[in-house]
Amino acid sequence: MRKIVLYIAASLDGYIARSNGNIDWLHDEKYTIPDEDFGYSAFMKTIDTTLMGHSTYKEILSFDAPFPYLDTKNFVFSRSLKQNTEDVEFINNDAAEFIKQLKQQPGKDIWLIGGGQLNTLVLNTGLLDKIILTYIPIVLGEGIPIFTKGTKEQKLKLKQLESKQYSNGFVQAVYNI
C-alpha cells in the first residue's frame, strides 16, 4: 500500500511556523548550499499526491509565486472552503475516512505537507507511515507546533542510514512509525 510521508522542517523546539504563520526563518540565505536541495527533488519523484490543511494552503497562496505543486493531485482540508480550483480539491467531511480510502488506491506515496492540525489528525488516526523531519538550527521560543495539543503518544523508529546532517547545521531525521 502507498505510504503517507510527512516531509517537513521544524525549529529545534518543534515549531513549523511563527505564531502568525510566517516561515521566513526557513529561508535564510546563510542556509544555502550550492547544488543541495536536502533531498527535495528525490522525494518529489516518490509522490504523486499532497495533503495540506487550509492554513498551510493560505500560506502557500500568500507567496508571490505560482502555485508550486502542479504535477501532483492536491487535497486541501477545510470545513469552510468548498469551491475546488484547477490546482486543488477541498475535502470537507470525514477527513480520516477520506485519507484511509486514498491510501488504498493505487499510486505513488502521498506527501503530508502539514500543518500541525492536519499532521495531528493523520498521526492520531494511525495513517502516518514515515516522517522526514529537517531540524533547522534555530530556537523560536513560540509558534505553531509540528503536532498540536491532543496528539496521542507515538513511539518512532529512527532510520539511521537515511538520516543526515548538513554543513549548514540542518539535521534530517527519518523515522518510521
Ligand X SMILES: NC(=O)c1ccc[n+]([C@@H]2O[C@H](COP(=O)([O-])OP(=O)(O)OC[C@H]3O[C@@H](n4cnc5c(N)ncnc54)[C@H](OP(=O)(O)O)[C@@H]3O)[C@@H](O)[C@H]2O)c1
- Residues 124-153, interacting with ligand X (CB under 6 A): 144, 148
Q: Of the ranges 36-44, 66-74, 101-109, 112-120, which one interacts with ligand X (CB under 6 A)?
A: 112-120
Q: Residues, the chain, total?
A: 177
Angle 160-4-86 from CA coordinates, rounded to 5°: 135
CB of 62 to ligand X, least distance (A): 9
Least distance from ligand X to the Cβ atom of residue 19, Å: 9
Of 65 and 106, nearer to ligand X (C-beta) is 65
Distance CA 28, CA 170 (A): 12
Q: Does 23 bind ligand X (CB under 6 A)?
A: yes
Between residues 116 and 174, which has the closer beta carbon with respect to ligand X? Answer: 116
Q: Is-contact 166 38, C-beta < 8 A? A: yes
Which residue carries 492520531 as its cell?
124
We find the least distance from the C-beta atom of residue 175 to ligand X, in angstroms, to be 16
Phi, psi for 28 (deg, rounded to 5): -90, 130
Question: Cell 467531511 appears where?
Answer: 93
Task: Kindly identify the residues of this chain, within the stretch 34-93, that bind ligand X according to CB under 6 A.
Answer: 53-56, 59, 77-81
| Least Å from the CB of residue 157 to ligand X | 22
Cα dihedral angle (7, 56, 127, 68), rounded to 10 degrees?
-50
In the complex with ligand X, the residue whose CB is nearer, 2 or 56, is: 56
d(CA 49, CA 68): 13
In the block, residue with C-alpha cell 548550499? 33
Per CB under 6 A, residues contacting ligand X are 8-9, 16-17, 21, 23, 26, 53-56, 59, 77-81, 95, 113-118, 121, 144, 148
